[in-house]
Amino acid sequence: MAHLETEVLVIGGGPGGYAAAIRLAQAGKRVALTERDRLGGVCLNRGCIPAKALIHAANQFHRLNTGKLNPLGIRATEVALDPAQTVKWKNGITERFQSGIESLIKANRIVRLKGAARLLDANTAEIAPDDGSEIATVAFRHCILATGSKPAELPVLPFDHVRVLTSDDALDLAKVPDRLAIVGGGVIGVELGTVFAKFGSRVTILEAAPQLLPGIDPQAVRPVAAELGRCGARIETDVRVRGAEARDGGVVIAAEKGGESFTVEADCVLVSVGRTPNSGGIGLERAGVETDEKGFIRTDAELRTTVPHIYAIGDVRGGPFLAHKASYEAKIAAESICGLRTRAEYDLVPYVIFSDPEIAGVGLTEQEAMRKGYRVKTGKFPFQASGRAMTIGETAGFVKLVIDADSHEILGALAVGPEASELIAEAALAIGMGATAEDVEQIIHAHPTLSEAFLEAAEASLGRALHIVNPR
């Protein structure tokens, strides 16, 4: 049995794990990184990147196939979709990123181990390669657990990966299903539902909550639901799924709404009801690392577990399940290991939903700000009044700012519309810098751009927007 000694062992090579390993190596630490699968984690291999690639492909196909570009004088007489080629293109993107991460690990002189890791005690782990080759033991001074999460399974809809699919399965479908049912109308359900509706599937989304995208401002959800409807998707909310059975090469889902039972027939069903932590089977109990009742690893503000020299970051320690949150936590944990005084702060974690139109938010909502005791004002600018939005034919949505009515400090922002995922960065920077609406008003924004909506929303919050009528 091979044996290795290192200062820091990082278990998990996703956006949290590899970022932590690199940051520690930059600080001069001896680091070993172990991952049983491909580097990049869920984000790169089965989440963020492949999903956004399919979203882009679906948008391009939809624009041509439905004649959305006809007003521009662009007409396509024959539009065909080759799903197998789309998946191949998507996989090529992830492979290039994987290669890039491998190069970064090598360039930073990080010891790369491949295999399933399990803690033997609070200072030792064993690495068992999947190919049955020699098991290695690693002695460490510090350890970072970054093992991520997996799709949650419903007892009434166990995954068979043929008819009942995870999001991982859906991303690799080489044939577009004629009928696709989706259980769960959260972020994953909406994003992939939009993809397959635009590819031509008859999509039915079944959501237990009263609205699609639970927890998101209903004003932001409205244009997303409307676009899904235009793509032919059926949305059912306040639904309880009772089970499913295979029939005629497909699946029949039994559900209930308002006390009435109904069924949905589909070729397959995607279950997207959340995620569960990959905390089982990695030896936490041997090391003395505690979890909560759902299996998420308990940590303090420095991301230390109940064993002070063992840290946990990313999905395995709880939501929100965002790659950028994991990368942020990676830096916090690395700095703590290096002896710096640091702590994780979650007031400014932006979220993005790559729906159509996109939704993004950061900071406080109106309701959250009022609960914290602020007197609140808002400023809202619709993309219908944006010159740039008109020129690209994407005028649905708006930008809204939440400000302190007394100091005019910006407390939160919500963007719904074209490139909302990019626009939210300006809001996050402004809030992080403690900017006021007047500060934003004084910054010259290029014209014509979508980012002008942020400027106009700031001016609207002060009652002096130029391109909309200010409320009296």
DSSP structure string for 274-325 = -EEES-TTS-HHHHT--B-TTSPBP--TT-B-SSTTEEE-GGGG-SS--HHH
Res 149: pLDDT: 96
- Residue 468 in any domain: the answer is no
Looking at 249, 273, 297, the residue that finishes a domain is 273
Res 461: pLDDT: 97
Note whether 128 and 179 are same-domain residues: no
**What gap in Å lies between CA 282 and CA 216, rounded to an integer?**
35
What six digits make up the tokens of 158?
A: 């166990």
DSSP label of 247: E
What six digits make up the tokens of 174?
A: 């080489």
Q: Backbone phi, then psi, for 143, in 5-degree steps?
A: -140, 140
Q: Is 161 a known active-site residue?
A: no
Note whether 20 and 91 are same-domain residues: yes
Say which residue the tokens 């008109």 belong to: 390
Q: Backbone phi, then psi, for 338, in 5-degree steps?
A: -80, 5
Across the chain, which has 472 residues, the per-10-residue mean pLDDT values are 90 97 98 94 92 96 90 88 94 95 97 96 94 88 97 94 95 95 97 97 97 96 97 97 90 95 96 96 97 97 97 96 97 96 93 98 97 97 97 96 98 98 97 97 97 97 93 75
Contact by Cβ (8 Å): 308, 140: no
Res 472: pLDDT: 72
Element (H, E) at 420: helix 420-432
Closest CA to 334 of 5, 8, 35, 110: 8
- Residue 383 in any domain: the answer is yes
User: Coil, helix or strand for 464?
Assistant: coil
CATH assignment at residue 252: 3.50.50.60
Domain that holds residue 372: 357-461
- Residue 398 in any domain: the answer is yes
Res 77: pLDDT: 83
- Residue 350 in any domain: the answer is no
**What gap in Å lies between CA 263 and CA 346, rounded to an integer?**
41
- Residue 114 in any domain: the answer is yes
Note whether 19 and 141 are same-domain residues: yes
pTM for this one?
0.95
* Count of C-beta atoms within a 10 Å radius of residue 468: 16
Note whether 238 and 285 are same-domain residues: no
User: Coil, helix or strand for 130?
Assistant: coil
Note whether 174 and 109 are same-domain residues: no
Candidates 142, 161, 324, 447; catalytic one? 447
Res 56: pLDDT: 96
Res 17: pLDDT: 97
- HEC states along 353-419? ECCCCEEEEEECCHHHHHHCCCCEEEEEEEHHHCHHHHHCCCCCCEEEEEEECCCCEEEEEEEEECC
Note whether 131 and 168 are same-domain residues: no
Rg for the chain, CA atoms, rounded: 24
CATH assignment at residue 413: 3.30.390.30
Provide the residue count of the chain: 472
Note whether 109 and 24 are same-domain residues: yes
Element (H, E) at 24: helix 17-26
198 class by beta-carbon count within 10 Å (0-12 exposed, 13-18 middle, 19+ buried): buried
CA quadruple 337, 341, 346, 351: dihedral, nearest 10: -60
Contact by Cβ (8 Å): 134, 1: yes
Tell me the C-alpha to C-alpha distance, in Å, between residue 10 and each of 3, 19, 23, 80, 414. 16, 10, 12, 45, 35
What six digits make up the tokens of 35?
A: 């991952």
Note whether 198 and 267 are same-domain residues: yes
User: Coil, helix or strand for 2?
Assistant: strand
User: Coil, helix or strand for 236?
Assistant: strand
- Residue 265 in any domain: the answer is yes
Element (H, E) at 11: strand 2-11
Note whether 52 and 195 are same-domain residues: no
362 forms beta bridges with 413
Note whether 145 and 236 are same-domain residues: no
- Residue 343 in any domain: the answer is no
- Residue 312 in any domain: the answer is yes
Q: Which amino acid is at 468?
A: I
Looking at 256, 273, 290, the residue that finishes a domain is 273
The upper half-sphere exposure of residue 345, i.e. CA atoms within 13 Å in the direction of its Cβ, equals 5
User: Coil, helix or strand for 50?
Assistant: helix
111 forms beta bridges with 32
Contact by Cβ (8 Å): 302, 343: yes
Note whether 284 and 144 are same-domain residues: yes
Looking at 252, 273, 294, the residue that finishes a domain is 273
Say which residue the tokens 């080489």 belong to: 174
* Number of structural domains the chain divides into: 3
The upper half-sphere exposure of residue 257, i.e. CA atoms within 13 Å in the direction of its Cβ, equals 16
Note whether 331 and 427 are same-domain residues: no
